[in-house]
């Protein structure tokens, strides 16, 4: 993952850890302590406001952390920066709450964290806390000792660091910076239309297959889901009786691992596709898609139920399974590192616009084929849309106030 930071690119390097049983118990104890600390800090702020209408500033809670470490040995065993990061995380949660409240959105008050939703330790100055050995075969973690890690690419100099647990596995994530490394120019440019029939259609006629990782692994995921349902005991109201039942925990972990393999296969495919695109083209044009709106449910309410709910749910699954958003993000990240240009254009009517004459007409789209009703231009519908996207990126329309919609999109 990459993003801009002070003229450089910020990269997250993820490395698999192999802690011993004793080291894993120490890491789990640190996770439990930081989660309890977060919940206690949140409760203090909430109770102070509901009972006395007083806001507890973070500097007061920061001072109380020092007193807590002196009084409670289990909190003193946790690296202080991890506890400071917990307080900072709570501040970010309240800042987001007030920001959404000011905008008139659904605010979402910070919630207490249960164990299943607390899975990382943050080291604000990871380069001071986490130390590698000479060969980077082990990393020394405060409170856990030297933990063996998977040897792969050399981790460069880094700043922040995180320890993350997922499905019973531990990972270290290091935030590093590096300058862009421009690729040789190719003189080629491309427009990309993302879809379900094919993952991406390029304006030069090339298509990239949609892996459909979720559809291929649906039978495995459903089998593990049935096993979890069988192992889960519920009361008359539908509440789970024992979440820590070993049989249920094992079934839940198998289901999580199956979904993780599905996501890993999708991510690997998108990495390869985005790398190929960035390596071949200097200028890349993408649609500016509103993915949240595209995947919104049409279920409606009890008073106003939606229509074609099952069909729309299937379409939403296909959209999310394809990974439109992740493909665009990876293209932007790799393009920033390779000094390529990425342009986003208006996505409206790209599938109904003729790339040859610019006529906008929905009758021209006939399933997977596009046949213009004006000039007779015939092509694959997705490839035609990609060519329209490229044309819009190269000659963006100059729209004045009150300009007709057809003229905005190149209609004659």
Supply the DSSP symbol for 22: H
Contact between residue 389 and residue 203 where contact means Cβ atoms under 8 Å apart: yes
| Per-residue confidence (pLDDT) for residue 179, from 0 to 100 | 84
Supply the DSSP symbol for 332: H
Q: How many residues in total does the chain contain?
A: 412
Compute and round to an integer the Cα radius of gyration of the chain.
26
| Per-residue confidence (pLDDT) for residue 411, from 0 to 100 | 37
Per-residue pLDDT of the chain (412 residues; tens, 9 = 90+): 555 444 578 888 999 999 999 999 999 999 999 999 999 999 999 999 999 999 999 999 999 999 999 999 999 999 999 999 999 999 999 999 999 999 998 888 999 999 989 999 999 998 899 999 999 999 999 999 999 999 888 888 999 999 999 988 999 999 998 888 899 999 999 999 998 999 999 999 999 999 999 999 999 999 999 999 999 988 888 888 888 889 998 999 999 999 999 999 999 999 999 999 999 999 999 999 888 888 877 777 667 777 778 888 888 888 888 998 999 999 999 999 999 999 999 989 999 999 999 999 999 998 899 999 999 999 999 999 999 999 999 885 555 444 444 433 333 3
| Per-residue confidence (pLDDT) for residue 312, from 0 to 100 | 82
Environment class of 136 (CB within 10 Å of its CB; exposed 0-12, middle 13-18, buried 19+)? middle
| Per-residue confidence (pLDDT) for residue 2, from 0 to 100 | 53
Environment class of 398 (CB within 10 Å of its CB; exposed 0-12, middle 13-18, buried 19+)? exposed
| Per-residue confidence (pLDDT) for residue 242, from 0 to 100 | 84
Antiparallel, parallel or unpaired: β 169-178 and 8-18: antiparallel
| Per-residue confidence (pLDDT) for residue 397, from 0 to 100 | 57
What pLDDT digit, counting tens, does each position of 324-360 carry?
A: 899 999 999 999 999 999 999 998 999 999 999 999 9
CA distance 88 to 81: 10
Q: Where are the beta strands (DSSP E) in 38-117?
A: none
CA distance 281 to 185: 8
Whole-angstrom distance between the N-terminal and C-terminal Cα of the chain? 43
Give the max Cα distance, the chain. Answer: 81
- Output the six-digit token pair for 191: 């427009």
Q: CB-based contacts of 390: which residues, under 8 Å, 6+ apart?
A: 189, 190, 191, 203, 285
Q: Count CB-CB contacts under 10 A for residue 107.
A: 14
């Amino acid at each position: 993952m990459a993003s801009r930071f002070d003229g450089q690119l910020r990269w997250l390097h993820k490395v698999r850890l192999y802690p011993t049983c004793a080291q894993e118990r120490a890491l789990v104890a640190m996770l439990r302590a930081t989660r309890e600390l977060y919940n206690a800090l949140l409760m203090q702020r909430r109770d102070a406001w509901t009972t006395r209408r007083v806001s507890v500033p973070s500097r007061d809670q920061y001072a109380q952390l020092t007193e807590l470490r002196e009084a409670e040995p289990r909190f003193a065993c946790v690296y202080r920066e991890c506890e400071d990061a917990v307080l900072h995380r709570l501040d970010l949660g309240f800042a987001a709450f007030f920001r959404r409240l000011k905008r008139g959105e659904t605010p979402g008050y910070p919630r207490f964290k249960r164990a299943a939703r607390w899975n990382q330790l943050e080291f604000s100055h990871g380069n001071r806390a986490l130390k590698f050995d000479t060969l980077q075969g082990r990393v020394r973690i405060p409170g856990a000792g030297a933990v063996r890690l998977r040897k792969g690419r050399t981790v460069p100099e880094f700043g922040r660091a995180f320890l993350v647990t997922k499905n019973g596995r531990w990972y270290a994530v290091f935030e590093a910076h590096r300058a862009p490394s421009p690729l040789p120019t190719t003189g080629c440019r491309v427009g990309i239309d993302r879809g379900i029939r094919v993952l991406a259609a390029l304006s030069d006629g090339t298509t990239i297959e949609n892996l459909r990782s979720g559809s291929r692994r649906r039978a495995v995921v459903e089998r593990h889901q049935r096993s979890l349902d069988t192992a889960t005991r519920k009361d008359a109201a539908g509440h789970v009786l024992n979440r820590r039942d070993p049989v249920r925990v094992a079934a839940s972990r198998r289901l999580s691992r199956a979904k993780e393999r599905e996501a890993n296969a999708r991510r690997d495919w998108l990495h390869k596709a985005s790398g190929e695109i960035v390596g071949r083209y200097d200028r890349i044009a993408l649609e500016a898609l509103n993915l949240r709106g595209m995947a919104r449910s049409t279920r409606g309410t009890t008073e106003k139920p939606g229509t074609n709910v099952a069909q729309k749910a299937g379409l939403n699954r296909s959209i999310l399974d394809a990974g439109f958003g992740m493909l665009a993000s990876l293209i932007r990240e790799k393009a920033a590192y390779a000094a390529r240009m990425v342009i986003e254009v208006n996505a409206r009517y790209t599938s109904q616009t003729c790339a040859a004459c610019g006529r906008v007409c929905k009758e021209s789209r006939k399933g997977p084929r596009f046949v213009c009703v004006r000039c007779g231009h015939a092509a694959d519908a997705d490839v035609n849309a990609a060519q329209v996207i490229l044309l819009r990126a190269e000659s963006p329309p100059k729209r004045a106030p009150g300009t007709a919609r057809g003229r905005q999109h190149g209609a004659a």
